[in-house]
Amino acid sequence: MSKVALVTGANKGIGFETAKQLAQAGVTVLAASRNEERGLKAVETLKVQGVSVTFLQLDVDSDASVQAAYDYISNKYGKLDILVNNAGIIVEEGHFGDNNVTTIEEKAFRQTFDTNFFSVVKLTNKLLPLIEKSEAGRIVNLSSILGSLTLHSDPDSPIYASKLFAYNTSKTALNSYTIHLAAKLAGTNIKVNSAHPGWVKTELGTDAAPMSIEDGAKTSVALALLGSDGPTGKYIHLGQELPW
């Protein structure tokens, strides 16, 4: 059986491209989307391009949906080799050049953490027994350079002025999960890493971003296909380690 991958938020942007590139590499890909119509449309778009993936409806904020995904993967494949936690949101008002730490509304803060952090932990821990059945399990958490405390605390860093509090700190928390989970799984065949895709031309990144979506997916794909000598518990962008 080929490797089996689950990519969340695969109906658009980096998630869509990650699913595409993994499928082109010979991986059996489950392209997950909260919205069924958009997910099926994405799968059809890939089919027209000659790329075959399977749609899986998955709302990462729903316990029932997460359980259904576990049951489907377990019954259909009996294992999961690759989990790419790509789904994420930004709901707070403002621009990345703002510092809204004193004005952010609690609802936006909680909503951001529910999807970008708590749901990732919930889904990953739920699927971990299936990943443990893989000969080379790989977990990729889609973070951002905006989660780096080292760079945020350095006035000379390129991201110093970019302080949308909810989004940035949700990615910092996600990085912490990467470190803790990698330590927990040390000595096993599972590798866990955080990926910074770069500033990419997506809905979030806007057309002002310098990187294409194709290039933005490369870090996730590389970490998903790491060999046995690859890193674990690291924060990576295009093969280079970032400071936590």
User: For 129-174, how does the pLDDT look when each residue is reduced to its tens digit (9 = 90+)?
Assistant: 999 999 999 999 999 999 999 999 999 999 999 999 999 999 999 9
Domain count, the chain: 1
Instruction: Give catalytic residues, as residue numbers.
Output: 167
Q: What pLDDT score does 212 carry? A: 85
Q: Examine the pLDDT at 116 and tell me if it is beyond 90.
A: yes
Percent of the chain whose pLDDT exceeds 70:
95
Give mean pLDDT, residues 27-55: 96
CATH number (domain holding residue 123): 3.40.50.720
Please check whether residue 191 is in contact with residue 199, taking contact to mean a CB–CB distance below 8 angstroms.
no
- Given a cut of 90, whether residue 47 has pLDDT beyond it is yes
Regarding beta strands 28-33 and 54-57, do their DSSP bridges make them parallel or antiparallel, or are they unpaired? parallel
What domain range is 105 assigned to?
4-241
- Burial (CB count <10 Å: 0-12, 13-18, 19+), residue 21: buried
φ/ψ of 195, rounded to 5, equals -115, 130
Side-chain-facing half-sphere of 184: CA atoms under 13 Å: 11
Give residue 21's pLDDT.
Answer: 98
d(CA 13, CA 103): 29
Q: Taking residues 27-32, what's their average pLDDT?
A: 98
- pLDDT bucket at 213, cuts 50 / 70 / 90: confident
Helices (H), ranges, the chain: 13-24, 36-48, 63-76, 106-113, 119-131, 149-152, 165-184, 213-216, 218-224
**Rounded CA gap, 223 and 197, in Å?**
11
DSSP state of 84: E
